[in-house]
Amino acid sequence: MSTTKTIQSALISVFSKEGLEPIVRQLNSQNVTLYSTGGTEDFIKNLGIPVIPVEDVTSYPSILGGRVKTLHPKVFGGILNRQDNESDVQQMQEFNIPQIDLVIVDLYPFEKTVASGADEADIIEKIDIGGISLIRAAAKNFKDTVIVASVEQYSFLLDMITEQNGGTTLEDRKLLATKAFHVSSHYDTAIFNYFNTDETIYKQSIANGQALRYGENPHQKGFFFGDFDAMFDKVHGKELSYNNLLDVDAAVNLINEFKNDGPTFAILKHNNACGLATRTTVNEAYLTALACDPTSAFGGVLISNTKIDVATAVEINKLFCEVVIAPEFDKEASAILQEKKNRIILVQNEVELPQKLVRTCLNGILVQERNNITDTKEALRTVTINTPSEQEIQDLIFASKICKNTKSNTIVFAKNGTLLASGTGQTSRVDALLQAIEKAKNFGFDLHGASMASDAFFPFPDCVEIAKKAGITAVIQPGGSIKDELSINYCNENKVAMVFTGTRHFKH
């Protein structure tokens, strides 16, 4: 039997009528018999096009407030019959079942209804039964039946039936079936996640993905699955790469820690902050952040927690950087930054980030809750005789916010709302500390009177001893080591203030 088939009949039952009219008119011009239900039937009639009510086929009305319309053997027989199966052909004739070559259906807007904050009764009514059944039936029988399961496929269908005079190839039908199963599986995942309370079961479906130029390296393929356009308005620049996206993610997570603080500017490289400062103006914050490590800032990702003005844009324009992010840009500031052809400029929108973090691991995945704890003044417990001053408390919390968003093992030095240096991703805490000290010296920073943050406890007093000799006067750490007293005793003997938070901030 030929794998190319001509559409002679179609069942159309959709929630949204947008974009449907040209398809209906094209099908009518090709003498396709149309079947429909309810509002879609009225829509087709109002176009002056003949349509057969499904009720006339089934001899059964729509019942239960429209909950049952198409669930009938004569409908599903017309969709699921195998045209090369002699028994199926005989039963179609025996029970007077009309052939259905094309099914156009979309589903009740379940996700939109949930997102709108509707009550449970409204949400339950948006769980489609007939529509999902029609999709699965037609997709299963793609050898004989065409399925269009989403408004997004209307243009493809219209082009196909116009260019091929109502004909469809097996490849066409299989492609549309694949898209249909994507629609149905995504829909069922959304429904499951609405009901699910068992955290040991994880399902996710992201409908909008895009291919990237490449992955982490040019020989790797890369893809992004998510709604980037909801998070950002891309004002200018080249397409973002895999590594750009990772840096942007790190930048957003970091700047969110300073969301309610004064003007704060951060510069990141390879997912870690190389410069960060809070000041009275965004321009001052940027210049101070840049001075933290102007070498690493080259080619970095820049982010502000407030509007970027003209003065700041002029300074940024002197630096080669990949991405600039802010909640807002002055019009002239944006124009200045766009002088560099490839520089990516993003306006960050208020979007709730996922509360579950996912990464591949071995032959599966790891899922964890987002680290939503930010150390605050109220959470600090002073464990030494010396108590930190108000300025030291501010610097300790400032350093802790950076530490939380830096690769472990990490040590962070801060002073007067400025990142002085950090040791990142080291295999020992002492190595991280020594790296931070060396980096501070290289850029001429005086560590005397500075504060130090550690992402985890000190198993021995060596870190506080090295830090004290470098000039550190206040330390913040989670505590919890069986040898905490050794570090506390050293601090007491050497007039160093130390506070415990009770919260570890590993970032692997």
- The catalytic residues are 140, 270
219 exposure class (CB count in 10 Å sphere: 0-12, 13-18, 19+):
exposed
Residue ranges in 338-414 assigned as alpha helix (H): 390-404
Question: What is the dihedral angle through the alpha carbons of 155, 158, 164, 168, rounded to the nearest 10 degrees?
Answer: 80
Sheet holding 33-36, edge to edge: 52-53, 33-36, 9-13, 102-105, 146-148
> Peptide bond before 283: cis, by omega within 30 degrees of 0?
no
DSSP 418: B
Separation between Cα atoms, residue 250 and residue 206, nearest integer Å: 21
Residue with tokens 């959709």: 14
Per DSSP, which regions of 238-363 are E strands? 264-269, 272-278, 300-304, 321-326, 344-348, 356-361
CA–CA gap between residue 362 and residue 360 (Å, rounded): 7
For 372, half-sphere exposure in the C-beta direction (CA atoms, 13 angstrom radius) is 9
The closest of 466, 451, 453 to 507, measured between CA atoms, is 453
- Determine whether 209 is exposed, middle or buried from the number of CB atoms within 10 Å of its CB (0-12, 13-18, 19+): exposed
Q: CB under 8 Å to 76, separation ≥6 — which residues?
A: 133, 137
Residue 436, both tokens = 């931070």
N- to C-terminal Cα distance for the chain? 58
- For 487, half-sphere exposure in the C-beta direction (CA atoms, 13 angstrom radius) is 26
Backbone angles phi, psi at 110, to 5 degrees: -65, -50
Residue 444 identity (one-letter amino acid): G
